[in-house]
Every structure is written in C-alpha cells, then in structure tokens.
Amino acid sequence: MGHISFLNHPLGKTIFFFLGFIILTIVAFQGTIVFWPQDNRFESVQIEISKGASLLSISNSLKNQHILTNEKTFLMAVKLLGHETNIPAGKFTLLDPKTNLRIIKQLVTGKPILKKVTLLEGWTMKKIAGVLESELGINKMDILSICTNPIFIKNQGISSKTLEGFLFPETYFFQESDSPEEILSQLTEEYNNNVPKELKNRADSLGFSELEMITLASIIEGEAIYNSERSTISAVYHNRLKLGMKLQADPTIQYIIKDSPRRLLNKDLKIDSPYNTYLHNGLPPAPVNNPGKASILAALFPEENEFLYFVARGDGYHTFSRTQEEHNRAKREFQKFRRKHRKKRG
C-alpha cells in the first residue's frame, strides 16, 4: 500500500488551514491587546509605584490618574508580555502613554526619578538627619533613632554605639520611596567601600581600633580646611597621644556646645563631658562628625614631624609649633591679625 501524505488528504488540508486560522486569530488578538490605545490626553505624566504594589493596585492607580481608559486590556497586555512581577517601585515619568505597550515598556525598563542629595565632610549625624528631612521629607527623628539602634548598627558591620562617623559624605541619588533604613544603609555601604580591610589593618598596626581611627579622622576633619594640612594636623595629634598630652582639640568642644559652630569661650573648655579633650586625656569616646576620605587617610598616614601645637593663621591655614613658647608667639600673631581685621570691618 502506498503512503498517503496527511496534507494531501482533503480532510488534512481542512484541519491544517483551520488550525492556521486559529493561530493567526490568537496572534492578531494578542497584538491588538498589546497595542490597544489608551485614550488619554497626556504627553507626559508622573506616576509613583509603591513598594510591594500588586499589578491590580498599579493598574487601579493608573486608572485613577486617567492614564488608563481601558484597564482590562492593560492587565491582559502585562500578563501576555510576562511582566506581572517586573514593574519596580519608584517615581517615573511616562512619555506619550497612548498605548498599552508604551506604558508597559516605560514601567518595566524606565529609570525611576532620583533625588540628588549631597552630604558634606564634617557634618554631624544631626546635621545629616536634618538635610535628609528637608530634601527627602523623611522625619529626622526617625533617622536619628535608626542611627542609635544597636541591631541596625551591628547589621552594618560597625562597632559603635551610634552611626556618627560612619555616614560617609558623598553625593547620593535616592528614590523618594526609599525608607530611612535603605538610605542609611547606602551611607554606611559607601563608608565600607571607602574604608576597606587594608585601611582597617593599617589602623590596627598603629594601635587604633576602627572606632578610634574614625574618631581621630573626625577631629582632623573639624580642624582642616585645606588638604595640604591634614597629615600635618594628624601628626600633631599622634605626637600628643604618644606623649600622653591632652589633645585640646576644638572640634570636640564644638560637638558638645548647643549653639555650634561659634567662637569658643573659656567657659566652654570647662564643660564636664567625656568629649572635652581639654579636660580628659586621649581621644573622645566616639567621632564628633562624619569625616571624608582625605581626613581618614590623614589619620592613618600622619606626616613625620615633631609638632605639638598649631593655631589658626587667619587665612584658613595654621602655624605649627614644636614648643609652648613658639606656640604662644604664633597665638600673639593671630591675635594681632584678628584685631587688625576687626578695625578694617569697623
């Protein structure tokens, strides 16, 4: 018996063409759904997707904003394209959202709107909390509460009672939907990226814990304006620590007065606080601000010198001295400069 091809049989041809028609119909239907027009008036529109939002809640939100005029086709299109769980949280700007495909593509592949926030070297934890509140609308008390939460601090790999000193100064880009925990995690992650194991080992070789190293760096940050002086200032403090001298570091006093920063008074130097390095030997118990990379490196790699004192010169730089006599002379010169400057302003 000869073999008869299925397609050559009249019934086979009928079935083949019928299946082809069904497939084409399904493809055409799916294409229609995906490209279904959404009759809105927007050329661009900003939307916000909450964290953990379901596809249905996202669709409802778009409908309530009058972006979707046919919610059912949008839901079908998302499922046909396999993006039910691919829509990230954040704020987005949709451009010309006139079809399901244009809307879905922008939701899935578009970049969320980010908020630029710059945190400067030498800012305290409280200052940073205030800036985050003003820039991102996050309650600063919530920020400060997390900064003193022992479990959160431990999870960041930091050995300290607070995050003071470990909120790395840098320019960041946050989503407005970021939680306080996520924001602070970015700051401490940046710290860990900039202070790798090699630098922590360097601190250990100098006889400092990581906390002590960052504390010294914060004092240097509070004193130095110009990078060229950081390692010299660092050497002064290293030299005084070796000799058992009080550090007498003004940034530690600025940290404990309520109306900082301002010119220090003699009574300020007598404040009873473990941070007062005019009263107590050694480093204060923790950092007094959040230092930048330059000050951290200066703390770890001090200049080799015999300086024990320094005083402001009036131009942002300092005069460094080896003896009390030299230091007193430098202070008198600065006082002359200050009086002369006052006369000019008067």
CA distances from 345 to 246, 262, 312 (A): 36, 19, 19
* Count of Cβ atoms closer than 10 Å to residue 266 Cβ: 6
Interval 45-58 mean pLDDT: 89
Give the C-alpha distances (Å, rounded to integers) separating 2 from 5, 6, 54, 307.
Answer: 10, 13, 60, 108
Q: Is the dihedral of CA 77, 80, 85, 91 positive or negative?
A: negative
What are the angstrom distances between the C-alpha of 128 and each of 121, 197, 222? 10, 26, 15
Tokens representing 17 are 């063409």
* Residue 69 near residue 57 (C-beta atoms within 8 A): no
For the cut 90, the answer to whether the pLDDT of residue 211 exceeds it is yes
Angle formed by the axes of helices 210-223 and 227-243, nearest 10°:
130
- How far apart are the C-alpha atoms of 311 and 320, rounded to whole Å? 7
% helix / strand / coil in the chain, to the nearest 5?
50, 10, 40
Q: Under DSSP, is residue 258 helix (H, G, I), strand (E, B) or coil? A: coil
Question: Residue 64 has which token pair?
Answer: 């309530």
- What is residue 20's predicted lDDT score, i.e. its pLDDT? 52
Q: What percent of the chain has pLDDT over 70?
A: 89
Backbone angles phi, psi at 92, to 5 degrees: -135, 155
The Cα–Cα gap between 152 and 342 comes to 49
Looking at residues 187-195, what average pLDDT do you find?
Answer: 97
* Sequence letter at residue 134: S
Is 191 within 8 Å of 167 (Cβ atoms)? yes
Residue 32's pLDDT is 75
Per DSSP, the residues of 28-76 read: HHHHHHHT-B-----SEEEEEE-TT--HHHHHHHHHHTT--S-HHHHHH
Res 152: pLDDT: 98
Select from 58, 50, 48, 52 the least CA-distant residue to 79.
58
Better pLDDT: 335 or 122: 122
Looking at residues 26-52, what average pLDDT do you find? 79
- The span from the CA of 1 to the CA of 3, in Å, is 7
- Could you report the per-residue pLDDT of 90-123, keeping only the tens digit for each? 888 888 899 998 899 889 887 777 889 999 999 9
| Domains by residue range for the chain, with CATH | 44-109 (3.30.1490.480), 114-194 (no CATH), 207-307 (no CATH)
DSSP character for 123? -
Mean predicted confidence (pLDDT) in 189-193 = 97
Taking a C-beta distance cutoff of 8 angstroms, is the pair 201, 194 a contact?
A: no
Question: What token pair was written down for 3?
Answer: 């073999």
Where is pLDDT greater, at 208 or 77? 208
Looking at residue 311, what DSSP letter applies?
Answer: E
Span 18-29, mean pLDDT? 52
Residues of the chain with pLDDT > 90: what percent?
69
